[in-house]
Structure 1
Amino acid sequence: MEDIEQQRPRSNNELPSEQREKLPPQEFDQDNSSATDVGDTPAKALYPETDLSRGIIGWDGQNDPANPQNFAKTRKYGLLGLVSAMTLVSPLASSMFAPAVGYMAEDFHVTNETLLSFSVSIYLLGYTFGPLFLAPLSEIYGRRVVLGAANWFFVVWQIGCALAPNIASLIVFRFFAGIGGAGCITLGAGVIADLFPIEQRGKATSIWGVGPLIGPVIGPICGGFVGEDLSWRWVFWILLIISGVFAFGIECLNRETYAPVLMRWKTAKMAKQLNRTDLRSAYDLHSDGASPLETLKLGLKRPVLLFCKSPIVLLLSTYMSVVYGLLYLFFTTISSVFEQQYGFSTGLSGLAYLGIGVGFFIGLASVAMTNDKVVVKLTARNKGIFEPEMRLPAMIFFSCILPISFFWYGWTAAKHVHWIAPIIGMAPFGIGMMGIYLPIQTYVIDCYPGYAASANATLTATRSLVGALLPLAGPKLFESLGLGWGNSLLGFIALAFVPSPIIFNLYGKAIREKFPVRLDGKKSLN
């Protein structure tokens, strides 16, 4: 740890204490949203401090214990754990219903396969719309209140799903549940940016990233047994119980971590205590007196602004969406293959997803142990200057592993090889997906630490849209091409995208610098 501390990446959030003391408060860069703020040039300042002579309210010194960046390690990981707990439950709901959909079809007398698939994937469509307003709202009103509201919104709609009288109402209720479930998926990135310095974000993102990828794997395992032994409605009753317990725990134990909101509260409190009307938060010095409505409009525009005006975010979102879509296309055949070809029961067929699950854990451990260390070493080689692209080199290796699963799983299943072979064949996909997913997540947090939730919302919305709609083509694809060539087609698509991480590493910095995006409403300085 001492070596890491000596080589810490320098960012707007990290400077040695002796340098901090020499920095006047007015040099604090309020806009953490620009990618150029994060790397490429030495940081100008760290945390803004209170200067009553100028009417500025900031932190009470660089080591102020009220600053979330200065929280004790146990408290930081405790808060991250609270968010991560719900981040596991929410994706669990996306796929837990899938193995039990046949029982629902019998109850509602539905035979249309596309409609049945849509009743599962509509949840991800909620993930597409939810982040677009939940993330900006958290950057206006704070993480805690928005996360709490989203969690309870998710919990309530589980009741609707459990009591749905027909498939149309079930689809609508699952859509609303997806919107609420997007809260923890989206705001986790913001919480990580709030709490952790650059050289710790890789590990933190790995912990938080378990849910969105492990949840869809655990879901079919649980859902298969529940649907078989109880009923499909009990899938939602169980989700209601679990999510209700976690939501209540988060409500009781969670704390606000977003610095601008904390400073806004502190400014109001000191203005009342000192009877001064001229006090302003150091985080709001460049707000130009924007009205609450204008601030809200700007906040809601940020995810779309990033997608449309930042080519590197657009490219990374596209790449992640392709991988995410391949995951859900992969999922469309697993249950039917192991039930029909290998004679598994509905419950046991869910266990086949363990192949991908094991791969996820291997990939997760690999990224968690190496990503931050690589960043520290590359930063040291770069004269102590951190660049977000230092997160991306490992993606080249992982992108080459990912396509293996499609050929391995597809042809072993098509040729009726022993059931263990296709299960093991799923593992490389899990490893590769983790090695792509987590570095991209951490990259956007490093690029836009002040607006990490909005940046993550862009990734979540795009990949969820693809994940919701692409699997609808799965049944027709495998019906036409069969398991072998159908999965091989997916493998060739994955192979075609292998050069993408190489392009990101070679030209990512140049693209980011050429198209800077200001998310504070001001025009770029370039």
Structure 2
Amino acid sequence: MARHDFQLSAPAQSEAVELAAEEGHDTDIPSNLGIIKGPGADGLDKEFDIEKCELSSRTSQSGPSDEFNAPAEAANPNVIGWNGDDDPENPLNWPSSKRWGTVAIVSSFTFLTPLGSAMFAPGVPQIMEEFGSSSELLAGFVVSVYVLGFAFGPLVVAPLSEMYGRLPLYHACNCLFIVFNVACALSTNLDMLIAFRFFAGSVGSAPLALGGGTIADTISREQRGTAMALWMSGPTVGPIIGPIAGGFLTQAAGWRWVFWVTAIAAGVITVAGIFLMKETYGLAILNHKVARLKKETGNPHLKSSLDSGLSPKDLFLFSIIRPSKMLFTSPIVFLLSLYVAVAYAYLYILFSTFTSIFVTNYGFTTGTAGLSFLGLGIGSIIGQVLTTVWGNRTAQKHIRKGDFEPEHRLPLMYPGAVAMPIGLLWYGWSAEFQTHWIVPILGTGIVGFGLLMLFMAPNTYLVDVFTLHAASAMAACTVMRSVFAAVLPLGGQKMYNALGLGWGNSLLGFIATALIPIPFLFVRYGKRIRTKYPVNL
């Protein structure tokens, strides 16, 4: 394809990267927008095709390439696109009620699936007793295996959505989520329950993998912040409400009703989605339009303006190979992913042990044991609010000064890095000496605060550093943290039995302390490291 001399302006480039990151793919995979109109480097208005961008080399280095291809096919009558800026088929032009209704349904499911990961935790002692198992390994794994599905589900769901659209994936995964939760409720042994929990987590990852893209499809940039906040409230609020509701439900009706209630709620949302949701992915909409026009006109040469020419094989390779390559060849991706993974694993160690600790040490019932998760939840909310406010102000300040670097995102990790070991030591030793129950819960609040501070900043940093391939970098981080969160909690109860709550949590705190230099290292040397170790994709 021919090269052109113009450059992509910073605003247009930023929009391309932001859109792709929200949709969960790299910028050389089709988006719902396709072409950005904006000023070029010479100040004249131009159109930039954000899918058919061609880097000067196949290398993701310290920053993005500014060379893009012109939309050479714009005047080709065989290329089918939107009928102007006000095309009613474009989801951005749908009535407001339809657009926000779609966001509400997706956000509801995004709330339900993380809730399912934690709602089940208070019922673990009941399950182990019913199935006659005393294995502490399985007691931890039956909780954490759900998040293992979060690691592998998006690797399949995301590329399939690029080929067939978002709607079929939503409907299929939502229906399977109901099926697997019903299967969990009907499980007759622990092995069945663990297997179906994994499958429920895998298909339950769909709204987490596709929700950002649906919002980008339907909501303008001016209103997208509100929609993203609504969507992201699920992963934040779900783990707070889940254990509380699950504790009382398990006590009143038994652990199986946790899955029945989840399946019923999922069924209501799924039915609403089937009747009210429409396809929002621009590429899929235009592909249907092309198929219709081919049949009507008999012209076999028609194609979508958003068609990047990528084969299904390429889409799968980009979704699976790229994240793995970035994880193991980039020190930035590996070390930040490691830090996030350890912090995330600590969360699931606490999830899988809270019920037994507070029931045994403090005499909580199965119902009130769910309240022990409140500290983690409230601390996480405080961390998320502080991260959003502080992060936005810091970035805007440096952008106004003209000296913004991706490393300006990472000081947000400093308070989280310090809070994590303090919270673990506070929780561990107060529970060891059986102080009043509020004291260890306050300690877990500090852990939750630290977790969110450590979780949010690296993702934003990876978007800024890897730009065109930001989604692959975030996918690498997601896979590593999900695997750690599924595996490390398996030894949580054994660790506490061997070392006690005080020294067991001190061990976790010492590891967290050893990782503290990572954000300081990247703030100081990050630019040098990403320049020295580019990722060849």
TM-score (norm 2): 0.81
CA distance in 2, matches of 1:336, 1:355: 17
**Which of these residues, 365, 381, 385, is aligned with residue 345 of structure 1?**
365
The residue type equivalent to 1:432 in the other structure is G
Counterpart residue number, 1:372: 392
CA distance in 1, matches of 2:192, 2:533: 44
Counterpart residue number, 2:52: 30
CA distance in 1, matches of 2:325, 2:513: 30
Deviations 1:409-461 (A, max 9, x none): 11222222211111122212212222222233344456677777655443332
Q: Relative to structure 2, which stretch is displaced further, 505-514 or 239-248?
A: 505-514
Asked whether 1:241 is paired with 2:259, we answer: no
CA distance in 1, matches of 2:96, 2:462: 23
Query: Equivalences for 1:358-437 in 2 at 5 Å?
Result: 358-382=378-402, 388-437=406-455
Give the secondary structure class of the aligned counterpart of 1:53.
coil
Q: Relative to structure 2, which stretch is displaced further, 346-355 or 408-417?
A: 408-417
**Which of these residues, 339, 360, 363, is aligned with residue 319 of structure 1?**
339
Counterpart residue number, 1:461: 479
The residue type equivalent to 1:313 in the other structure is V
Counterpart residue number, 1:4: none
Q: What is the CA-CA distance between 1:176 and the residue it aligns to?
A: 1.4
Deviations 1:436-493 (A, max 9, x none): 2223334445667777765544333221211111111111211122111211221122
**Which of these residues, 501, 505, 511, is aligned with residue 487 of structure 1?**
505
Paired residues in the alignment total 507
Deviations 1:300-351 (A, max 9, x none): 4344344344443333322211110111223344222322222211111110
Note if contact 2:36-2:50 (Cα within 8 Å) is conserved in structure 1: no
Q: What is the CA-CA distance between 1:158 and the residue it aligns to?
A: 0.9
Note if contact 2:54-2:68 (Cα within 8 Å) is conserved in structure 1: no
Alignment gaps of 5+ in structure 1 = 1-6, 518-522
Q: What is the CA-CA distance between 1:137 and the residue it aligns to?
A: 1.8
Counterpart residue number, 1:227: 250
Counterpart residue number, 1:152: 175
Q: What is the CA-CA distance between 1:392 and the residue it aligns to?
A: 3.3
CA distance in 1, matches of 2:12, 2:245: 42
Q: What is the CA-CA distance between 1:254 and the residue it aligns to?
A: 3.5
CA distance in 2, matches of 1:381, 1:278: 50
CA distance in 2, matches of 1:499, 1:102: 38
Q: Relative to structure 2, which stretch is displaced further, 22-31 or 231-240?
A: 22-31
Alignment gaps of 5+ in structure 2 = 1-9, 19-34
Q: What is the CA-CA distance between 1:378 and the residue it aligns to?
A: 2.5
Q: Relative to structure 2, which stretch is displaced further, 459-468 or 297-306?
A: 297-306
RMSD, aligned α-carbons = 3.8
The residue type equivalent to 1:344 in the other structure is F
Counterpart residue number, 1:182: 205
CA distance in 1, matches of 2:94, 2:534: 31
Q: What is the CA-CA distance between 1:50 and the residue it aligns to?
A: 7.1
Q: What is the CA-CA distance between 1:229 and the residue it aligns to?
A: 1.2
Deviations 1:114-162 (A, max 9, x none): 2232222222222232222112222332223223222221111111111
Asked whether 1:210 is paired with 2:233, we answer: yes
Counterpart residue number, 2:491: 473
Asked whether 1:83 is paired with 2:106, we answer: yes
CA distance in 1, matches of 2:534, 2:132: 53
Note if contact 1:12-1:38 (Cα within 8 Å) is conserved in structure 2: no
The residue type equivalent to 2:371 in the other structure is L
Q: What is the CA-CA distance between 1:364 and the residue it aligns to?
A: 2.0
TM-score (norm 1): 0.82
Q: What is the CA-CA distance between 1:70 and the residue it aligns to?
A: 7.4
Q: Relative to structure 2, which stretch is displaced further, 161-170 or 122-131?
A: 122-131
CA distance in 2, matches of 1:388, 1:250: 38
Note if contact 1:360-1:427 (Cα within 8 Å) is conserved in structure 2: yes
CA distance in 2, matches of 1:275, 1:194: 30
Asked whether 1:335 is paired with 2:335, we answer: no
Note if contact 1:256-1:262 (Cα within 8 Å) is conserved in structure 2: yes
Q: What is the CA-CA distance between 1:109 and the residue it aligns to?
A: 1.8
Counterpart residue number, 1:3: none
Give the secondary structure class of the aligned counterpart of 2:76.
helix
Q: Relative to structure 2, which stretch is displaced further, 234-243 or 502-511?
A: 502-511
Deviations 1:10-51 (A, max 9, x none): 5143999662794554765624999969966768699x6972
Note if contact 2:136-2:494 (Cα within 8 Å) is conserved in structure 1: no
Deviations 1:255-287 (A, max 9, x none): 4444444444444455556654444434435x3
Give the secondary structure class of the aligned counterpart of 2:205.
helix
The residue type equivalent to 2:500 in the other structure is G
Note if contact 2:73-2:79 (Cα within 8 Å) is conserved in structure 1: yes
Cα distance change of structure 1 residues 152 and 38 upon mapping to structure 2, 3 Å threshold: farther
Give the secondary structure class of the aligned counterpart of 2:373.
helix
State, as a whole percentage, how many aligned pairs show the same letter.
Answer: 41
Counterpart residue number, 2:14: 11
Note if contact 2:175-2:270 (Cα within 8 Å) is conserved in structure 1: yes
CA distance in 2, matches of 1:450, 1:258: 20
Give the secondary structure class of the aligned counterpart of 1:52.
coil
